[in-house]
Amino acid sequence: MKALALFFALSLYLLPNPTHSTRNPIRLPTGASGTPVLDNEGEPLLPGRPYLLRSWKWTHGGLRLVSLDGATTKCPSDVIISNELDYGSPIMFTPADPNAAVVLEWTPQNIKFDIPTTRLCVNNVSWEVEYDPKSGQRFVKAGDVLSHNFQIEVVAPGLNAYNITYCDSAADNCYPVGTHYGPDQQPRLALNTDEPYAITFMKPRVA
């Protein structure tokens, strides 16, 4: 019964919330919680280690770095959400605190893809946010800017389900990272809460 109650609470949390949008940022708790972010096995996330991020409800898969505009860009920069059978590409977290032994909730993080690239694109793997005037949306993109503007918030204690938020440079306002569907219906990461992207962290499988 306890597990059912937690799942019901999570389902309510994941419903679209009109008060949360890219124009209405959420407020962070005062100070870091000091609580480690846990993977799906209940172990703390370690800085600099690869993890797979995939939909907690298994309605989508993991994240991949692609070029949606074909060959018009030298390095892939679009972050897409794969189908439910695709676990995606490994991603690493680097806390702003160089002494952090584990990744903590509500603390600034650099997020980047841990994937093979060409020499030209080796530094173009860090997450950032870019405004797209055509769609009016702010998308999560990969680039060469090393920042710590992302934080991780727990959805429901004990379920190992999380959301990622993007915080402005002053860390006064934070925006939920969710799923955005474009004209091609390809789901992408964006500062959008029409469909929150609740995730779980998984260690990559060893071949």
pLDDT tens-digit profile of 151-168? 999 987 788 999 999 998
CATH label of the domain that carries residue 82: 2.80.10.50
pLDDT digits (tens, 9 = 90+) for 48-107: 999 999 988 877 889 999 998 765 668 999 999 998 888 999 999 999 999 999 999 999
Distance between CA atoms of residues 204 and 89, nearest Å = 9
Please tell me the total count of domains within the chain.
1
Residue 68 lies in a domain: yes
Q: Residue 43: pLDDT above 50?
A: yes
DSSP 8-state assignment for residue 64: E
Residue 12 lies in a domain: no
Residue 195 lies in a domain: yes
Is 40 buried (19+), middle (13-18) or exposed (0-12) by CB count in 10 A?
middle
- Single pTM value for the model: 0.82
Q: How open is the CA angle 67-69-71, to the nearest 5 degrees?
A: 75
Residue 9 lies in a domain: no
Distance between CA atoms of residues 127 and 164, nearest Å = 12
Residue 66 lies in a domain: yes
Give yes or no for a contact between 26 and 204, defined as CB atoms under 8 angstroms apart. Answer: no
Structural domain range at position 169 = 35-202
Residue 2 lies in a domain: no
